[in-house]
Amino acid sequence: MTKSICLTFMQKRSIISKEASIIGTITSMILVLNGPNLNLLGTREPDRYGLESLEQTVQKLTQLAEKQGFELKSFQSNAEHELVEKIQKAVVDKVEFILLNPAAFTHSSVALRDALLAVAVPFIEIHLSNIYAREEFRHKSYFSDIAAGVVAGFGTLGYELALRAAITKLQG
């Protein structure tokens, strides 16, 4: 009779980290995923979302991650299936943490939720605006209950706060 051993993501990471200390250092990968319309950041409703572009935000995050010894990759899409595919590929790509701004998919995407549950990579949900201070339909998130944390209402600074939290958790 064979026994199955199921490990949580953090248990797997602990084993990998112990092996890495014997072999040498490894760089942990953090993936930043952005949903629909975030390609317009900096020009779309700047009074609500600010003047900083997505490219500028990602550049700052990349520098911060590298200073802490982490690799950061970023992807934005207006297409739900492309985001699902990135999430599904996260394990193969050795992503250890996801920073997710699902944007409008926050309130509708069971597909993204299921993908996140399937890969079991920890993630932080990010929103530029405070979704609870906006229209009623924006108050429901398909991700908050399965996220490691939620950052909302701090504009692009929210990405940095989420990155710092992810790094702290990974260094754990």
Q: What is the pLDDT of residues 66-92, one digit of tens each?
A: 999 999 999 999 999 999 999 999 999
107 counts as catalytic: no
Residue 89 contacts residue 63 (beta carbons within 8 Å): no
Q: Which CATH superfamily is domain 26-171 in?
A: Dehydroquinase, class II (3.40.50.9100)
Residue 124 contacts residue 151 (beta carbons within 8 Å): yes
Among the listed residues 49, 81, 132, 142, the single catalytic one is: 49
Write down the pTM of the prediction.
0.83
**∠ CA(51), CA(99), CA(19), 5° rounding?**
140
Structural domain spans, the chain: 26-171
Among the listed residues 127, 132, 142, 159, the single catalytic one is: 127
CB-based contacts of 3, cutoff 8 Å, min separation 6: none
- The Cα 140–Cα 108 span in angstroms is 9
pLDDT at position 22, please?
Answer: 37
132 counts as catalytic: no
pLDDT mean by block of 10 residues, the chain; 172 residues: 46 48 62 97 80 94 97 98 98 97 96 98 95 77 97 96 98 91
Residue 147 contacts residue 124 (beta carbons within 8 Å): yes
pLDDT at position 36, please?
Answer: 97
